[in-house]
Amino acid sequence: MPYSTLVFDLDGTLTDPAQGIVRCMNYALTSFDYMARPEHEITALIGPPLESAISDLSGEDDEFKIKQLVTAYRERYGAFGFAENTVYSGIRDVLDQLKERQIPMGVCTSKLEKYAIKILKEFDLFDYFDFISGVSGDSFNSPKSLQLEKLLTEGHIDSHTLMIGDRSVDISAATTNKLESWGVLWGYGSRQELDTAGAARILETPLELLELLNDQDI
């Protein structure tokens, strides 16, 4: 059966946020006298909630201190980091074709919703989507599965929705809500990670995504 709605992750799926995330993470860490981390350690944690990544990189488990680091991170991210980002090659063409066919699309991201909207507008992607789901400022380490659950409850999506993302958190969130999910390899997750998480398909390029959707007559 064709999918009723396509839900995309943001970081590592639509855009490559590495430069901004690395700079903001090290700004936050060094602001509180934690050691700056190398790029590969930070990019390995792109995808899951920010609080989880900061805890791993700082070695900190005190909730108050993690919140301080998150605040510092978002201070720079809101000013500069959101724009230190690039749209993956081929994504805009895929979205153009899907939009022309009037296929409902949305974004579900672990970022603050206001930053997700800011990024999508900065790179002229906002108008492709019917809804944007991000976390609120008072959320702490909120799982993406709860975001999808809310989208289902509010009627933005239904049981025939397809989730598309680059990390296991995207796949497991869909599985928790009994939705199908496809993993993508142009982001930050490996084939093994996505396969282990239970992705129904694993795609290597945005063009492959479009071809598979064409095959399913969506």
User: Residues with catalytic annotation?
Assistant: 9
**Residue of 110, 135, 107, 136 lying closest to 121 (CA atoms):** 107
> What are the start-end ranges of the H helices in 80-143?
91-100, 113-122
Query: Can you tell me the distance from the alpha carbon of 155 to that of 133, in angstroms, rounded to the nearest whole number?
Result: 13
CA separation, residue 27 to residues 59, 72, 76, 133, 215 (Å): 16, 7, 8, 26, 46
Q: In whole angstroms, what separates CA 198 from the centre of its chain?
A: 17
CA atoms within 13 A on the CB side of 10: 33
* Three-state secondary-structure class, residue 19: helix
CA separation, residue 43 to residues 24, 132, 149, 167, 187 (Å): 12, 23, 27, 12, 10
Query: Can you tell me the distance from the alpha carbon of 122 to that of 85, in angstroms, rounded to the nearest whole number?
Result: 10
